[in-house]
Structure 1
Amino acid sequence: MSFELECPVDFKKVNENKVRLTALWVLVLGVLVFFTKSWLIAAFLLIDFALRAFDFGKYSLLNLLSDFTVTTFKISTKPIDQAPKLFAAKIGFAFSIAILATILTDNLTATLYITAVLIFFAFLESALGFCAGCYVYTFYKKIFK
């Protein structure tokens, strides 16, 4: 039995280098949440993921910071399809809801585990360019046929 990976496609292109920088900012903020359990940082991540997940990325402060970084350091453009990144942002949005909820309910063990997973996936995207969204999407499609 072979595993065939499926990714959502919308034929709109985004700059992969910008996406990876945004993931780096998520990684940094995730580490801050992990160590501080700050509901303010978690709420910021929630809002930022919501903007990116529901196609309002032009208002995302993390995207704006990544745009500034790409422009300032003249980082090249590497086009990639936007759909897998939107799907991954929706997953990040769900994780952010869970992180904020666990912080607000003082379930700090759950906060640490959920935040660690978010940090891990942000690391994979930012450092390695590996988007786990396609894998999650493939399983999602199999479960909800």
Structure 2
Amino acid sequence: MSFELECPVDFKTIDENKARFTALWVFLLTITFLVVENWLPIGLLLFDFSLRAFESGKFSPLNKLSDFVINLVKIDPKPIDQAPKIFSAKIGWFFSISIIVALWFEGSDIAIILAAVLALFSLLESSIGFCAGCYVYTILKKILK
């Protein structure tokens, strides 16, 4: 049995550089949460993921920060389909809610594990363009058939 990777597609494009910088900010905020042990960085991530996951990404503070850096450094756009990034934002939204719920119910160990996974996947996306969301999408698609 082979594993053929599938990603959602909607034929609308975004800039891959922007997505990767945004993943970098997610990584840094998640690491900040792990270091300072305060829920505020995850609260900001929840807000930002909510905007990006439900197609209001143009209002995302992390996207705006990415735009600023890209314009400052003058990086040329690299178009990619936006659907995998929206799907990944939905996963990030779910992780952020799960972390906050775990903290609410005194499950700091669970919150730390979830945050570590979120940090790892956002680091992989920002550094080498590895989209864990495509793997989750492929697995869910096979399970839900």
The interval holding the TM-score normalised by the smaller chain is over 0.9
Matches within 5 A, 1:42-53: 42-53=42-53
Residue 80 of structure 1 is matched in structure 2 by: 80
1:32 maps to amino acid: T
CA-to-partner distance for each residue in 1:77-133, whole Å, 9 max, x for gaps?
111100000000000000000111112222111111000000000000000111111
Tell me how large the CA RMSD over aligned residues is.
Answer: 0.8
2:66 maps to amino acid: S
Structure 2 CA distance for aligned equivalents of residues 101 and 32 of structure 1: 18
* Cα pair 1:24 1:126 within 8 Å, conserved: yes
Residue 29 of structure 1 is matched in structure 2 by: 29
Which range is displaced more, 98-107 or 113-122?
Answer: 98-107
Structure 2 CA distance for aligned equivalents of residues 36 and 101 of structure 1: 18
Gaps of 5+ in 2: none
CA-to-partner distance for each residue in 1:50-80, whole Å, 9 max, x for gaps?
1000000011100000011111110111111
* Deviation (angstroms), 1:138: 0.4
Structure 1 CA distance for aligned equivalents of residues 37 and 61 of structure 2: 21
1:33 maps to amino acid: F
Please report the TM-score for the alignment, with normalisation by the length of structure 2: 0.97
* Cα pair 1:37 1:103 within 8 Å, conserved: no
Residue 68 of structure 1 is matched in structure 2 by: 68
* Cα pair 1:39 1:104 within 8 Å, conserved: no
Structure 2 CA distance for aligned equivalents of residues 105 and 32 of structure 1: 21
Residue 126 of structure 2 is matched in structure 1 by: 126
Structure 2 CA distance for aligned equivalents of residues 41 and 103 of structure 1: 13
Moved over 3 A (4+): none
* Cα pair 1:12 1:82 within 8 Å, conserved: yes
2:143 maps to amino acid: I
Structure 2 CA distance for aligned equivalents of residues 64 and 40 of structure 1: 19
Please report the TM-score for the alignment, with normalisation by the length of structure 1: 0.97
Residue 13 of structure 1 is matched in structure 2 by: 13
* Cα pair 1:18 1:70 within 8 Å, conserved: yes
Structure 1 CA distance for aligned equivalents of residues 22 and 96 of structure 2: 15
Residue 3 of structure 2 is matched in structure 1 by: 3
